[in-house]
Amino acid sequence: MGANLEIADLKKLARRRVPKMFFDYADSGAWTEGTYRANETDFSRIKLRQRILVDMTNRSLASEMIGQPVSMPVALSPTGLTGMQHADGEMLAAQAAEEAGVPFTLSTMSICSIEDVASVTTKPFWFQLYVMKDRDFVINLIDRAKAAKCSALVLTLDLQILGQRHKDIRNGLSAPPKFTPKHIWQMATRPGWCLKMLGTQRRTFRNIVGHAKSVTDLSSLSAWTAEQFDPKLSWNDVAWIKERWGGPLILKGILDPEDARMALSTGADAIIVSNHGGRQLDGAHSSIAMLPRIVDAVGDKIEVHMDGGIRSGQDVLKAVALGAKGTYIGRPFLYGLGAGGKQGVTTALEIIRKEMDITMALCGKRDIKTIDGSIIAENPFAV
């Protein structure tokens, strides 16, 4: 795969290897994409403290997320249609995460099913739940995740309705892809992708097809979401889902201190400060800007995680310094997957691990567990 030194290298490669409609699906935010951009750029506004002449030997990035050991506090975000970035994408990414010692989170809207991923992994992965109006289907999903021995349920709360993403509409995104001249051209110019896709049976939403009743037009993601996702989802639903699941529960999509306090009262194990990678409420603050306020509100009572805009190990370190016990990466691993399948995801994780390790040392620290606000020189988002 050549010399890939930073996540941007993997993004460049993915753009060349993945058909435009699927590459754009990953590289898009809602409306003006302002929040999507801010997620990345706000990290660069936080400055680190350079320290010298401290012992830099024996460094460790090992830590815990919801009590589970992780080789570094970086999990793979749940992402829909991952099996369209690369054939069998979710299975390959899960294997890469397992080998790297970090959690993999499977999306409800994945191409490979819970059972597919369980069949190629040996350790438990996490499952992300979207709540549909069809409660029997939701209960069935929870039970399937339990049967597959998933070790955490990530309940996403910021997508009761879908944010408008212009690129997807213009591209006529669907899975499996339509066979119009435009879509055929997009695929024909990516022969490696096509060849691998022809070699797998997994080309539709396998968590859903054959499991949910009355699935009419699943190929149109936006139409299906509008029809099936529950716009009336409430805090009361969190209670019954928690009870039905009975295991570690992570609430995803919290961007406001008031919602963080509500989340606290559910008894969940962790919350993820997230704006869905800038794909939902464009115009909202970046995740890293809101992290200090949410940590200030609930950080001593519940484990706080964050995602959105992490493109380097430095970003992870900054999030940890501002109080995140764990972080997640979405696009970085998707770009890796598109660029080079399982090896590409491994490379993305290695890039981040190496950047984090060296940065930690240059900040004068040896153990990620000791990272706190003292490594920050300047933070415009401080409470």
Ligand X SMILES: Cc1cc2nc3c(=O)[nH]c(=O)nc-3n(C[C@H](O)[C@H](O)[C@H](O)COP(=O)(O)O)c2cc1C
Q: Which chain residues interact with ligand X by CB under 6 A?
A: 25-26, 39, 77-80, 107, 109, 128, 156, 252, 274, 276-277, 279, 307-310, 329-331, 334
The 10 Å CB-count burial string (b at 16+, else e) for 289-299 is bbbbbbbebbb
Distances (CA, A) of 350 to 96, 279, 306, 319: 11, 26, 20, 18
Q: For residues 267 and 255, what is the distance between their CA atoms, to the nearest angstrom?
A: 18
Map tokens 């003292």 to a residue.
374
Strands (E), 303-358: 303-307, 326-329
Please report which helix (H) or strand (E) contains residue 283, including its range.
none
Whether 276 is a known active-site residue: answer yes
Minimum CB distance to ligand X smaller for 276 or for 353: 276
Minimum CB distance to ligand X smaller for 95 or for 128: 128
Catalytic residue among 86, 276, 285, 305: 276
Least distance from C-beta 311 to ligand X, angstroms?
A: 7
Least distance from C-beta 63 to ligand X, angstroms?
A: 19
Q: Is the peptide bond before 176 cis (omega within 30 degrees of 0)?
A: yes
Question: What is the number of residues in the chain?
Answer: 383
Minimum CB distance to ligand X smaller for 37 or for 51: 37
Residue nearest ligand X, CB atom distance: 330
Q: How far apart are the first and last CA of the chain?
A: 43
Least distance from C-beta 136 to ligand X, angstroms?
A: 21
Q: For residues 207 and 137, what is the distance between their CA atoms, to the nearest angstrom?
A: 10
Minimum CB distance to ligand X smaller for 190 or for 279: 279
Least distance from C-beta 218 to ligand X, angstroms?
A: 14
Minimum CB distance to ligand X smaller for 315 or for 365: 315
SS3 state at 81: coil
Strands (E), 218-257: 249-254
Least distance from C-beta 199 to ligand X, angstroms?
A: 23
Enzyme catalytic residues: 276
